[in-house]
């Protein structure tokens, strides 16, 4: 069972003691992502994430890496459209040292101009890698167009042009204005004592001063779109999309619907398009939920000559779910699959830390395991069918294509 408290300055802490574990995982979740950016500073949240690994007054970049490796721990970070996360996992006996490293990075990074210049080159190359990866590009272009190129439509990495404008003052100002006490959650899971944990966190983060400024949240409305990128490659990468539910709304029916459509090897799209027809190697469905909206996507990579048949099958299967829903047998199988995945993830301190951190930041609370499993069990055939009819409106379907477009007509 987890506990929620606040540090004296308002930073929320959610912690769960896991008996019998040898490790502690800790994550700092900050409500600062690409949807809070604009045309000029697009990519700045991700750039800051990189810069916090480049050195403080106490440690340079090498020392940060060496100090964590000496503990045998893991230290990393990632940026999403709505938040940035910094996390580590160490043996319980090394928690104080791990905390010292992470808090030093977050609170004392220098943003040296020479480091900024070098990291700009690194991120420029990272952007090029994504542009050269069709599976990434097809999703990015889809979301860019459906969200109107603003807010959720911004690339997390930014663009080659936008990152050239970042300097020390701009990065530090964005950090100060967006890494705030009221939009930060510290999550911990593993083997620890609660009071000792809170004392340590208060010592490291309690001195952060609250600020009132925050970047404006760009309101996004899904708009059906078509986007194509021609590349001289063998395959055609296809992504279909529909507007979906925001974070925390219809979570469990949506998980079931995704699993039925393309969420695994037993899903309808995988079985029909790959196993029965042999039209492709990779096909799956996925969804992204945000604070106020969401998007449901279907991906397939195939020979261009198979495009029309694969697209037809996708429409047929979605129409089938809308018309008939899923059977009780299929629902039972999917519930068993999701329940097992849910419980297996909770055996890992890092997974548990991530779950309670994200939920607390975005939803404001974390459901208990019993509550989550109860809500999953309560999903019935009618709820899945109703959600399918709500989401799979073909008048709102978007399509993104990347690859060999010869002979392709959308």
Active site residues: 49
Beta strands 294-302 and 74-79: pairing type?
unpaired
Give the distance between the most distant pair of CA atoms in the chain. 66
Q: Which helix (H) or strand (E) holds 391?
A: helix 381-391
φ/ψ of 12, rounded to 5, equals -80, 140
109 pairs with which residues across the strands? 56
Neighbours of 311 (CB within 10 A): 18
> In 10 A of CB 397, how many CB atoms?
18
- CB of 125 closer than 8 Å to CB of 163: no
Phi-psi region of 43 (alpha: psi -120 to 50; beta: other; left: phi over 0): left
Among candidate residues 348, 145, 371, the one with its CA nearest the CA of residue 248: 371
Q: Between β-strands 2-6 and 12-17, what pairing exists: parallel, antiparallel or unpaired?
A: antiparallel
Q: Rounded to the nearest 5°, which phi and psi values hold at 2?
A: -95, 160
Contact criterion met (CB below 8 Å) for 59 and 67: yes
How does DSSP classify residue 55? B
What is the distance between the alpha carbons of residues 73 and 94, in angstroms, rounded to a whole number?
9
């Amino acid at each position: 069972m987890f506990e929620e408290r606040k540090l004296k300055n308002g930073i929320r802490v959610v912690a769960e003691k896991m008996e019998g574990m040898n490790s502690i995982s800790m994550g700092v979740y900050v409500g600062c992502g690409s949807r809070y950016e604009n045309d000029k500073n697009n990519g700045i949240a991700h750039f800051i994430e990189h810069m916090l690994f480049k050195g403080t007054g106490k440690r340079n970049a090498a020392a940060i890496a060496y100090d964590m490796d000496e503990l045998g721990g893991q230290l990393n970070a990632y940026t999403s459209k709505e938040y940035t996360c910094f996390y580590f996992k160490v043996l319980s006996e090394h928690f104080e040292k791990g905390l010292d490293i992470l808090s030093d990075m977050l609170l004392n990074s220098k943003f040296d101009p020479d480091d900024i210049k070098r990291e700009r080159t690194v991120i420029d190359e990272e952007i090029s890698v994504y542009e050269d990866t069709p599976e990434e590009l097809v999703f990015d272009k889809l979301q860019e167009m459906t969200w109107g190129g603003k807010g959720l439509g911004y690339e997390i990495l930014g663009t080659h042009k936008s990152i050239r404008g970042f300097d020390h003052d701009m990065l530090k100002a964005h950090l100060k204005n967006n890494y705030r006490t009221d939009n930060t959650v510290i999550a911990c899971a593993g083997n620890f004592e609660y009071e000792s944990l809170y004392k340590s966190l208060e010592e490291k983060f309690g001195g952060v001063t609250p600020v009132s400024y925050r970047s404006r949240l760009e309101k996004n409305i899904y708009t059906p779109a078509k986007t194509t990128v021609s590349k001289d490659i063998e395959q055609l990468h296809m992504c279909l999309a529909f507007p979906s539910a925001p974070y925390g709304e219809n979570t469990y029916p949506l998980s079931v619907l995704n699993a039925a459509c393309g969420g695994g090897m037993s899903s309808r799209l995988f079985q029909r398009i790959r196993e029965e027809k042999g039209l492709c190697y990779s096909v799956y469905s996925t969804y992204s939920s945000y604070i106020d909206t969401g998007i449901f996507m279907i991906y397939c990579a195939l020979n261009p000559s198979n495009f029309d048949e694969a697209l037809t099958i996708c429409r047929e299967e979605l129409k089938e779910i809308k018309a008939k829903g899923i059977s009780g047998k299929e629902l039972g199988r999917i519930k068993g699959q999701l329940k097992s995945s849910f419980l297996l993830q909770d055996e890992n301190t890092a997974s548990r830390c991530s779950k309670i951190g994200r939920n607390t930041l975005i939803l404001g609370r974390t459901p208990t395991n019993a509550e989550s499993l109860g809500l999953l069990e309560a999903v019935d055939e009618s709820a899945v069918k109703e959600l399918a009819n709500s989401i799979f409106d073909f008048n709102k379907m978007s399509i993104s294509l990347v690859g060999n477009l010869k002979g392709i007509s959308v």
